[in-house]
Chain A
Amino acid sequence: MTAAIGRPVDRVEGREKVTGAAGYAADTVIDGMVHAVLVQSTIAKGRVTAESMAAAAAAAEQAPGVLFVLTPLNCPPLHVLPVDMTWDLPLERRPPLSDLTVQHVGQHLALVVAGSLEEATHAASLMTFDYDTAPAQLTAADVLGAPAPADEKGGQIRYGSYQPDHFVKLDEEKLQDSRGPAEEPDGIRVASRFRTPINAHYPIELSATVAYWEADMLTVHDSTRWITGERRALAAYLGIAEDRVRILSPLVGGAFGSKSFLWMHVVLCAVAARAVARPVKLVLTRTQMFSSTGHRPRTEQQVALVADTDGALLSTEQHTITETSTVAHFCEPVGLTARFLYRSPRMSVSHTVARINAPTPCFMRGPGEAPGMFALEVAMDELAEATGTDPVALRLRNDSARDQPSGRAWSGKHFRECLLDGAERFGWSQRPAVPRSLRRDGIQVGWGMAAASYPGRRMPSGCRVVTTPDGQIRFAAATHEIGTGVRTVMAQIGADATGMPLEAVIFESGDSLFPDAPYSGASQTTATVGSAVALAGRQWRQRLGTAVTSVSELRELLRAAPELCERLCFTVTSGGPDETGPLSQSFGAHFCEVEVDEEIGRASVTRWTAVLDCGRVLNPKLAANQVMGGITFGLGMALLEQVPYDARTGQLIGEYYLPTHADRPEFDISFIDVPDYGLDPVGVRGIGEIGICGVPAAIANAVYHATGKRLRDLPITLESLLEPFASEYTS
Chain B
Amino acid sequence: MTELHLRINGTPRRVRADVRSTLLDLLREHLGLTGTKKGCDHGLCGACTVTVEGERVLSCLTLAVSIDGASVETIEGSDPQIDALQCAFLRHDGFQCGYCTSGQITSARAMLREVARGDLSVASFEGCRHTVPEGPQHLCDDEIRERMAGNICRCGAYANIVAAIRDAAGAPS
Instruction: Give the nearest-CB partner of B87 in chain A.
Output: A18
- The interface residues of chain A lying within 8 Å CB-to-CB of B53 are none
Query: In the bound complex, do residue A629 and residue B156 qualify as a contact, i.e. CB atoms below 8 Å apart?
Result: yes
Q: B99 to chain A: which residues have CB within 8 Å?
A: 24, 203-205, 253-254, 483
Could you give, for residues 616-660 of chain A, a 1 whenever the CB lies within 8 Å of some chain B CB and a 0 otherwise?
000001100110111111000000000000000000000100111
Decide yes or no: A18 and B39 within 8 Å by CB, A117-B25, A251-B98, A661-B149 being known contacts. Answer: no
Q: How far is the CA of A626 from the CA of B151 in the complex (A)?
A: 19
User: Given A122-B20, A630-B156, does the pair A17, B40 have CB atoms closer than 8 Å?
Assistant: no
Interface size on A, residues (CB 8 A): 60
Q: Answer yes or no: B162 CB below 8 A from chain A CBs.
A: yes
Chain B facing A: main interface SS: loop
Chain A positions within 8 Å of B115 at CB level: none
CB of B156 within 8 A of CB of A664, answer yes
Which of A27, A621, A655, A662 is packed against the most chain B CB atoms within 10 Å?
A: A662
Contact A205 B152 (CB under 8 A): no
Q: Does B154 reach chain A (CB closer than 8 Å)?
A: yes
Q: Within 8 Å of chain B (Cβ to Cβ): is A667?
A: yes
Task: Specify which chain A residues have a CB less than 8 angstroms from the CB of B25 in the assembled complex.
Answer: 117-118
Query: B interface, how many residues as a size bin?
Result: 35 or more
What residues on A are CB-neighbors of B155 within 8 Å? 254, 483, 625, 629
Q: Which one of B40, B90, B102, B158 contacts A632 once the chains associate, using CB atoms below 8 Å?
A: B158
Q: Is B8 an interface residue (CB 8 A)?
A: no
A628, A655, A662: the one contacting B156 at CB < 8 Å is A628
Segment with Cβ contacts to B, from A8-16, A187-195, A339-347: A8-16
Q: B6 on the interface (CB 8 Å rule)? A: no
Indicate if A215 sits at the interface (CB-CB under 8 A).
Answer: no
A19 at the interface (CB under 8 A from B): yes
Residues in chain B near residue A667, CB distance under 8 A: 159
A286-B42, A482-B97 given as contacts; is B159 within 8 A of A628 (CB)?
Answer: yes
Interface centre among B36, B44, B145, B158 (most CB of A within 10 A): B158
Q: B39 to nearest A CB, angstroms?
A: 4
A108–chain B nearest beta-carbon distance, Å:
19
Contact with B along A252-270 (1 / 0, CB 8 A): 1110100000000000000
Across the interface, name the chain A residue whose C-beta is closest to B145.
Answer: A661
Interface string of A411-451 (1 = CB under 8 A from B): 00000000000000000000000000000000000000000
Contact B39 A205 (CB under 8 A): yes
Alpha-carbon distance between A179 and B149 when the two chains are bound, in angstroms: 49
Please tell me if the beta carbons of B157 and A18 are within 8 angstroms of each other in the complex.
no
Contact A21 B35 (CB under 8 A): yes
Give chain B nearest CB distance to A195 CB in angstroms: 24
Q: List A residues at the B interface (Cβ < 8 Å).
A: 10-11, 13-24, 26-27, 29, 35, 116-119, 121-122, 202-206, 251-254, 256, 283, 285-286, 482-485, 621-622, 625-626, 628-633, 655, 658-662, 664, 666-667
Interchain Cβ contacts under 8 Å between A and B, 21 examples? A15-B82, A18-B95, A18-B105, A203-B99, A204-B152, A204-B153, A206-B38, A206-B39, A206-B40, A253-B37, A254-B97, A254-B99, A285-B41, A286-B40, A286-B44, A625-B93, A625-B157, A628-B156, A628-B159, A633-B154, A661-B149
